[in-house]
Amino acid sequence: MSGRKDVEHTPDGRYIVVDGRRWRATDPDIPPERRDELQRILMAWRRDVRRTRGTDEERTSRAGVQAAKEALGERGTPWWEQADDERRRRWERRVPVPDDGRRG
């Protein structure tokens, strides 16, 4: 689910608990290499949100975070409500990275 072993999960494995608050867990069926890649992309977009805050580019940066989180199964249709082929298509879909056509 998450690469971190110290994260508390709900008994059903669908959520992680951080400071008493539930957050949707990453889809546990994502192959480890793809999960790691998507998490790297997510972190790059989060850094880009900080960089672009208050500018016209911020919306694009936030859309990148959304796309990465959807691919991980943390947003959008809950992964436990999707058929296996839907889940696979979701995590295999191309997710843009901050440098894709945005900076020279």
* Chain position carrying tokens 């539930």: 22
**Rounded to an integer, what distance in angstroms lies between the CA atom of residue 57 and that of residue 40?**
20
**Rounded to an integer, what distance in angstroms lies between the CA atom of residue 76 and that of residue 17?**
19
**Rounded to an integer, what distance in angstroms lies between the CA atom of residue 86 and that of residue 47?**
29
Is it the case that residue 68 has pLDDT exceeding 70? yes
Number of C-beta neighbours around residue 93 at 10 A: 10
pLDDT, tens digit, 9 for 90 and up, residues 11-64: 999 999 999 999 999 999 999 999 999 999 999 999 999 999 999 999 999 999
Q: Where are the beta strands (DSSP E) in the chain?
A: 8-9, 15-18, 21-24
User: What's the whole-model pTM score?
Assistant: 0.86
Is it the case that residue 100 has pLDDT exceeding 80? no
